[in-house]
Amino acid sequence: MIKAPWDDRTFTARLRAVGSTSYHHQHPFHVLMNRGRLGRKEVQTWVANRFYYQTRIPIKDAAILSNCPEREVRRLWLHRIVDHDGRAGDEGGIGAWLRLGEACGLARKGLLAHEQVLPGVRFAVDAYVTFARTQPWPIAIASSLTELFAPDLMAKRLAAFERFYPWVKARGLEYFKNRLTQAPRDSGEALQLTLRQCNTRELQEQAIRALQFKCELLWSMLDSIHWACFGQPPGRAHRGK
């Protein structure tokens, strides 16, 4: 029996439910970060490894565009690449993250060379790019809906850095501040595309699985970082699963 598609309200609720149980705001490493429990070395390790993810975001978005035959969607999505890669006179999100690294005491040259990237982080991030390159473009877009949950985490992260990590120079927090406005805009665009393009139950279920995959990927990155910092895997008490 072919299942009828969910209406937009139900589909949206099911997408948001993924975040409530699986988004990495519940990861023990983020919990420690937001409570001011990380030392300088742990913060630097996170910044250096997360930078690898940041550099692959525009590559991921370019992969989505390469699979999308709809001109209007490509035009809508294109700003994401510019937001991260920047343009003349503006280094974009990647430049802002480099400034965060420098504010944390990391050398720009080492960040750009990805000298501290852990194998587990590299594997997870590369898997995300492969997913975007090989999946139908509406499903790849659905995987980006982790941005629905990002503003709350970003606000807590910014407050935590300002309160607990004063040794991080204020100019390094620009990326977090920018994402407070960019993430709601980006997630709104992605959600509308997902609701419009995933108009069968099968596609809706694929979209939910794609979002779950992205959440698992982000969680896996933090698992690797936590292990490298503390010499043991994180507990699962905060995961909600």
Q: What is the pLDDT of residue 240?
A: 39
| Banded pLDDT at 88 (limits 50, 70, 90) | confident
CB 19 within 8 A of CB 149: yes
Mean pLDDT of 77-97: 93
CA angle centred on 98, ends 92 and 104, rounded to 5°: 140
116-160 pLDDT, tens digit per residue, is 999 999 999 999 999 999 999 999 999 999 999 988 888 999 999
Mean pLDDT of 234-238: 57
Integer angstrom CA distances of residue 235 from 29, 104, 223, 240: 10, 27, 9, 12
Task: Specify the amino acid at residue 22.
Answer: S
175-197 pLDDT, tens digit per residue, is 999 988 999 999 999 999 999 99
| Banded pLDDT at 236 (limits 50, 70, 90) | low
Residue with tokens 């709601």: 184
Q: What is the pLDDT of residue 235?
A: 66
156-172 pLDDT, tens digit per residue, is 999 999 999 999 999 99
Exposure class string for 38-71: b at 16+ Cβ within 10 A, else e: beeebbbbbbbbbbbbbbbbbbbbbbbbeebeee
CATH number of 8-230: 1.20.910.10
Distance between CA 55 and CA 113 in Å, rounded? 11
